[in-house]
Every structure is written in structure tokens, then in C-alpha cells.
């Protein structure tokens, strides 16, 4: 019996200017009980094909059948239901809460599902997963395969008012620019807090066709983030509903990219087309398409006059082990979180969390201070000058007789380099 069948599947990404054919007329079938591995070079379309089979993306043309059912044109809602009930996805990033032990990670879905602690159930699950002797360990003490066996559901919230105010001060942001960069900073710091190691760093870029692009943010796993954008004083007319037109400012045609530096030889790079340029929708699309994690993302910045009144964000992710009942409950409550920045003007985040998750018995697992912080320094700028190479640096010395000034894009700090400084760096530079 054919459990899976793909017929002439083609996937084309189109950003309006160029087209990328990720899959070209792919056909395959898998029998029940059969194990199949898809191998190929990076960028060959493996993930795209699995996204389509897993219902987190749709083919441009062709058909996909699972257990005899045509899933090609399912709606988003029906796709989500089908995926939860029929398809198992193992994620590239294990999405464990690093401050919880294996035991706590395993039991968290039980707490969210209002089930009492059952010691025998815990040991049964741990034994089945081969984790019985690892219950007291933390995720960073597990192998990759062991981390994949631990499941949970999570919600992250962030109040980012102060760090967005700092960004506005440094960059002299207009209302529209403050909303765009503030949302991106909030989303980036939430994504940064999901990283397995605190020292890991990610660079997030929204590159659209709007006048504020590119919008760039850099975050780590310790709640620190920085960002910049083009035309920080840009202001646009409000949308008909009275909201700031962030989508037009960022641009609706283009790509969002995430580069994760995890200390390995090569960083992980994920890219998805922009959905709206409104930032939150693009984050949610990235989680689904690139990380195969359905996500609700709410990001908001409220500006009045020259002051950022409030800023914050919510990230909800149903992970393997989260029941349909809990997912439905979270979906029903999502409108309560839609205008998080306005809500923060009236209530603190702790009070809002109690309201949002009432009856679900939420447990606060960790608190991380968030801040806008740039790690630039004179030595880093010197390294950047050296990296230009002897030819370019020599041209700068010839053109800039009085020396040169370098200004950091993220914090506006300026360092001056004299001719003597530049000549010293020239001697260190490679041809």
C-alpha cells in the first residue's frame, strides 16, 4: 500500500523580479512500512519537498497524496489539523527550554493539558525514549538525538519598551521607523531567547522593496539585541484604519533571512519570502516555512508624539505533545494578544499573562532581562578596516589625507583613525 505519493511536484519562489525553481517535476512514492531518506546538496530542495509533504507549504503545481488523501489544496486550517493528526515532524532545532531539566520538559505538556503528575507515566515515557538516566540533565547536557526525544509546548512574552526607546533615541526614529524597527527588535530578541546556547547569535534581515529596507537586527541568547534600518526619519501617511503603514515602509516584495551563528564551521541560513512587510506576519511565516513550527506572533509598538509609550511581543508555539484541545484554546485566545502594545499601556505584562492564559495554569519558567546593547569597539572597527584589504585601505589613505571616521550603524558610536593609524593597519592587511 502506498502511504505517500507525490506526482509531478514543482515549487517556484517568485519575488516579482526573479524566479527560483526549488523543485522541478518531482515524483516519488513510499510504501507503508518503508523507510526513505532524501539526500542532496544544500539548496537542492530537500526541505522544500518535506515542507510540502508536511503541509506547511504548498506546491506550485503537482499533487501530494498521504494515505490516499489528496492534501494538495487543503486550507491552512485543515492542513494544521491534518498535520497534527497524521504527520510527525522532527525539527532541525529541538526547541527545548534550556533552563528546564529533561523531567520538567517532558512533564510540561501534562501541566498545560491540566493533567496531574503521574510518576509511573513519566518513567514509562522516559524509558521508551531511552532517557531514564537523563531525567535530571539539562538540554545542553544531551546529545542531539536525545534532545529530539523531549517534547513540550511553550509561550514566550517580552516587554521591550525600554530597549525600543533606546533604539529610537540612538537612531532619531520617526513614528513609522520606530514601529518597524521596534517590532523587528522585539521579534529578534524573542527568537534569540529560543537559541540553545546563550552565546549563539543570530542576524535577522528584512530586505523588502520599501524605503526603510533593509531592516537588520542582531540578537543573542541573553536578551541582548541591536538593530538599524535605512531612512530612520521616514514618515508615511497612516493607513485607512489609522495604523502606521509598516508594510509599505518595509516593502511587501522581498525576503526575510535569519543567519544563526552557533559556533560551528558554517552558520545556519534560513530565508523566506516576505508576506506583508508588517514584521509579525513575516515572523510567523518564517517559523512555519523555515523551521516547520506553526507559530502565533504578536508584535507591537505604540508611539505618541516623540515618545515610545510601550512595546512588546508574544510568541506561541504548539510543540509535539501539545494536544488539540490546548491548541484550540490558544487559538481562541489569540485575539486578546493582538494589540499587545496598547494593552501594555494599561496593565503590566504579568497581569496580561494571567488574563491571556487563565485556566491553563501557566508556569513562568524563566525571566531574562532584555536590553538594547551594541558590542562595537575600536578594535572591532580596526578589524573591519583590515578586512578591506591592502588595495582598498591604501585607496582610503590616499583619498582621506586627514584620516577617517567610522560610525557604527547600530549605536552611532564614532571612532577617528589618523593617517598614522591607517598606515599601521595597512601593514597588517593582506593583499
Among 3.90.550.10, 3.90.1490.10, 3.90.1280.10, 3.40.50.300, name the CATH number for the domain at 378-428: 3.90.1280.10
Most confident of 44-48, 88-92, 103-107, 164-168: 164-168
pLDDT of 113 over the 50 cut: no
Query: How far apart, in whole angstroms, are the C-alpha atoms of residue 182 and residue 159?
Result: 11
Query: How far apart, in whole angstroms, are the C-alpha atoms of residue 135 and residue 129?
Result: 11
Q: What's the whole-number average pLDDT of the chain?
A: 83
For the whole model, what pTM was predicted? 0.65
CA dihedral 191, 193, 196, 200 (to 10 degrees): 80
CA terminus-to-terminus distance, the chain? 63
Lowest mean pLDDT among 72-86, 95-109, 126-140, 278-292: 95-109
More confident residue, 248 or 296: 248
pLDDT value for 121: 58
Under the banding of pLDDT at 50, 70 and 90, the label for residue 92 is low
Q: Hey, what's the cell of 75? A: 486550507
CATH architecture of 2-86: 3-Layer(aba) Sandwich (3.40)
pLDDT value for 106: 66
More confident residue, 408 or 148: 408
Q: Hey, what's the cell of 184? A: 523587528
390-399 and 419-428 helices cross at what angle (nearest 10)?
170
pLDDT of 60 over the 50 cut: yes
pLDDT of 400 over the 80 cut: no
Domain ranges of the chain: 2-86, 102-148, 154-372, 378-428
335: left (phi over 0), alpha (psi -120 to 50) or beta: alpha
Among 3.55.30.10, 3.30.1370.100, 1.20.950.20, 3.40.50.410, name the CATH number for the domain at 154-372: 3.55.30.10
Lowest mean pLDDT among 9-23, 33-47, 79-93, 129-143: 79-93
- Relative to beta strand 296-304, strand 307-317 is antiparallel
pLDDT value for 319: 67
331-347 mean pLDDT: 87
Beta bridge partners of 301: 311
Query: How far apart, in whole angstroms, are the C-alpha atoms of residue 310 and residue 289?
Result: 30
Amino acid at each position: 500500500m502506498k502511504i505517500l505519493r507525490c506526482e509531478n511536484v514543482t515549487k517556484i519562489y517568485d519575488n516579482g523580479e526573479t524566479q527560483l525553481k526549488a523543485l522541478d517535476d518531482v515524483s516519488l512514492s513510499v510504501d507503508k512500512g518503508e523507510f526513505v531518506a532524501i539526500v542532496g546538496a544544500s539548496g537542492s530542495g530537500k526541505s522544500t519537498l518535506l515542507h510540502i509533504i508536511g503541509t506547511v507549504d504548498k506546491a506550485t503545481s503537482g499533487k501530494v497524496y498521504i494515505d490516499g488523501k489528496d492534501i494538495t489544496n487543503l486550507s491552512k486550517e485543515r492542513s494544521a489539523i491534518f498535520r497534527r493528526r497524521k504527520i510527525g515532524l522532527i525539527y532541525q532545532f529541538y526547541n527545548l527550554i534550556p533552563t528546564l531539566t529533561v523531567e520538567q520538559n517532558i512533564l510540561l505538556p501534562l501541566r498545560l493539558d491540566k493533567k496531574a503528575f503521574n510518576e509511573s507515566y513519566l518513567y514509562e515515557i522516559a524509558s521508551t525514549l531511552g532517557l531514564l538516566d537523563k531525567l535530571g540533565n539539562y538540554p545542553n547536557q544531551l546529545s542531539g538525538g536525545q534532545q529530539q526525544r523531549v517534547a513540550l509546548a511553550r509561550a514566550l512574552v517580552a516587554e521591550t519598551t525600554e530597549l525600543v526607546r533606546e533604539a529610537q533615541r540612538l537612531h532619531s526614529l520617526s513614528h513609522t521607523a520606530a514601529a518597524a524597527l521596534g517590532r523587528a527588535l522585539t521579534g529578534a530578541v524573542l527568537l534569540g531567547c529560543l537559541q540553545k546556547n546563550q552565546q549563539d547569535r543570530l542576524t535577522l534581515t528584512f530586505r523588502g522593496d520599501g524605503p526603510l529596507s533593509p531592516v537588520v537586527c542582531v540578537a543573542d541568547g541573553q536578551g541582548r539585541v541591536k538593530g538599524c534600518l535605512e531612512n530612520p526619519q521616514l514618515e508615511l501617511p497612516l493607513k485607512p484604519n489609522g495604523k502606521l503603514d509598516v508594510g509599505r515602509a518595509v516593502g511587501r516584495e522581498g525576503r526575510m533571512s535569519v543567519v544563526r551563528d552557533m559556533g560551528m564551521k558554517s552558520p545556519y541560513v534560513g530565508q523566506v519570502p516576505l508576506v506583508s512587510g508588517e514584521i509579525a506576519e513575516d515572523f510567523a511565516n518564517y517559523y512555519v516555512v523555515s523551521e516547520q513550527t506553526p507559530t502565533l506572533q504578536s508584535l507591537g509598538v505604540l508611539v505618541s508624539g516623540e515618545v515610545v509609550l510601550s512595546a512588546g511581543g508574544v510568541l506561541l508555539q504548539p510543540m509535539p505533545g501539545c494536544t488539540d484541545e490546548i491548541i484550540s484554546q490558544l487559538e481562541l485566545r489569540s485575539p486578546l494578544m493582538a494589540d499587545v502594545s496598547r494593552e501594555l499601556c494599561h496593565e503590566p505584562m504579568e497581569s496580561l499573562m494571567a488574563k491571556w492564559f487563565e485556566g491553563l495554569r501557566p508556569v513562568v519558567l524563566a525571566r531574562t532581562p532584555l536590553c538594547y546593547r551594541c558590542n562595537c569597539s575600536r578594535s572591532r572597527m580596526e578589524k573591519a578596516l583590515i578586512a578591506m584589504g591592502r588595495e582598498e585601505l591604501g585607496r582610503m589613505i590616499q583619498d582621506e589625507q586627514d584620516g577617517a571616521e567610522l560610525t557604527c550603524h547600530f549605536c552611532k558610536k564614532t571612532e577617528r583613525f589618523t593617517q598614522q593609524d591607517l598606515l599601521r593597519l595597512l601593514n597588517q592587511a593582506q593583499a
